Amino acid sequence: MTRITTEGLFCWALFSLLGTSISGFQATAPTSSFSLRENARQRPNEIIAAFATTDSGVSDAQKLLDKAAQLRAEIAAAEGKTLEEVEDEAKAKKEDERLREERAKEERSAAAKKREEDNVLRDDDGARFVQVPVTFDDMVRQASRAVERAFQDGKNRQTIRFNLVGEEEAATEENEWPGGAKQMYRESGGPLTNALLREVRAPTKDKNPDLRRNNPELKVQDIWDFDGTALHTAEAAEGPSADIQAMVFPNTDKKYLEDIHKISEDMGDRLFVLVNPFWRNVESWGFNILAPGAKKRAQEVVFGKNAYDETYSMMMFQVRGEKCAAIKAYPYDWQLFAFREDDYYQNEEYVIRLGSCKDDPTSAVVTKLLNERPEFKETKTMRQMKKLG
């Protein structure tokens, strides 16, 4: 067995750290020797650190230190410089690299900030048409008008996302639904979908928007009871050409993609809506070893040529401790709102419109808009402390 000496191991590590193969060094010596000197000037301590903890003992570590010092001295002599100059150059180069990395980081941060600012629109024509709904029925009516406008513009495949509240609750409630998907469907998703299908008119023949549908017959078919998914159908009084179907709570199981594909084919030009699906975009499918083609299939079925555009969405969330709402109602951009507690009436609050944005709202966008409003210069905690003080 060949004995590997500390010196041999040092040489191997030196070449390895400098990115030069031992077998190829002899053949490329004229060009690699410069690289060797250049890297060794900057990385001697890294080489030493790699071997300072070996089992060879203190004497071997000292030998390595001596070799590193000798190598630096040889580089200095070869370039006609003092040892201090070589070390100073290495330190300067390292500092330059650090500064370049800091500048690059600052530029990336500035670019991201600009993208967020570009997403904010303080005024747009849709603002006066979109208001925060007060009741369950208000939200349903707002959603149904958005769905109808989109359908009249040729969008017969749509996605809508309700704020999931019960029939007797305010539209702006923030529910956690500890009972999971079955409870959400039973107390909110199902009733909201039925109410929507009673409101929406989407005829494929007589497209007069002034004609309201008369008491469609509603039918419900469970898909998988354990996850609260169902298919709702509104059979129109004026005939099958105005029928509507809605799938409630589909998730990323591949079964739903096949169901959606089949229903879409059967519906033809008629309206088919996905209600509160459990995905945000095609990346929600990710990698699944049990369904390796799911992401590609999702791209084809949901996000492809006849994509299920999000035509209505109402979201409730917290930013900086403030209760906020974001509403997208076709064809308008996202409208952003915040709720301010009334200083004179306990447990009362009023809505303040913050602005709007083109893309999905982020906490950074909403925080920026909150900071610009005098009503929110102080945080909610600070305001409450003032009241108590």
pLDDT in tens, 219-233: 999 998 788 899 999
Residue 31's pLDDT is 40
Greater confidence (27 vs 82) lies with 82
Stretch 231-254: mean pLDDT = 94
Rounded to whole angstroms, the Cα distance separating 278 from 131 reads 26
Helix, strand, coil share of the chain (percent; to 5): 50, 20, 35
Q: Please say if the pLDDT value at position 1 is more than 90.
A: no
Q: Please say if the pLDDT value at position 375 is more than 50.
A: yes
Residue 213's pLDDT is 54
- Confidence band of 282 (pLDDT split at 50, 70, 90): very high
Of the candidates 217, 226, 308, 231, the residue with the CA atom closest to the CA atom of residue 263: 231
SS3 for 334-346 is EEEEEEEECCCCC
Residue 389's pLDDT is 60
As given in the structure block, the two tokens for residue 32 are 């690699």
SS3 of residue 315 by DSSP: strand
- Confidence band of 266 (pLDDT split at 50, 70, 90): very high
Contact status, residue 195 vs residue 137, Cβ threshold 8 Å: yes
Q: Please say if the pLDDT value at position 25 is more than 70.
A: no
Rounded to whole angstroms, the Cα distance separating 197 from 190 reads 11
User: Residue 86: how many CB atoms within 10 A of its CB?
Assistant: 21
Q: Please say if the pLDDT value at position 208 is more than 80.
A: no
As given in the structure block, the two tokens for residue 333 are 């951009």
As given in the structure block, the two tokens for residue 136 are 């369950």
pTM of the model: 0.67
As given in the structure block, the two tokens for residue 33 are 């020797």
Q: Please say if the pLDDT value at position 337 is more than 70.
A: yes
pLDDT digits (tens, 9 = 90+) for 27-70: 333 344 444 444 545 555 555 555 444 455 567 778 877 887 88
- Confidence band of 273 (pLDDT split at 50, 70, 90): very high
Rounded to whole angstroms, the Cα distance separating 66 from 286 reads 53
Residue given tokens 């750290």 in the structure block: 17
Stretch 323-338: mean pLDDT = 96
- CB burial of 332-352 (b: ≥16 within 10 Å; e: otherwise) equals bbbbbbbebbeeeeeeeeeeb
Q: β-pairing, 271-275 with 244-248?
A: parallel
Contact status, residue 375 vs residue 322, Cβ threshold 8 Å: no
- Confidence band of 205 (pLDDT split at 50, 70, 90): confident
- Confidence band of 26 (pLDDT split at 50, 70, 90): very low
Of the candidates 362, 308, 355, the residue with the CA atom closest to the CA atom of residue 330: 308
Contact status, residue 83 vs residue 70, Cβ threshold 8 Å: no
314 residue type, one letter? M
List, edge to edge, every strand of the sheet that includes 229-235.
120-121, 349-357, 334-341, 322-329, 309-319, 157-161, 271-275, 244-248, 229-235, 217-224
Greater confidence (73 vs 232) lies with 232
Q: Please say if the pLDDT value at position 178 is more than 60.
A: yes
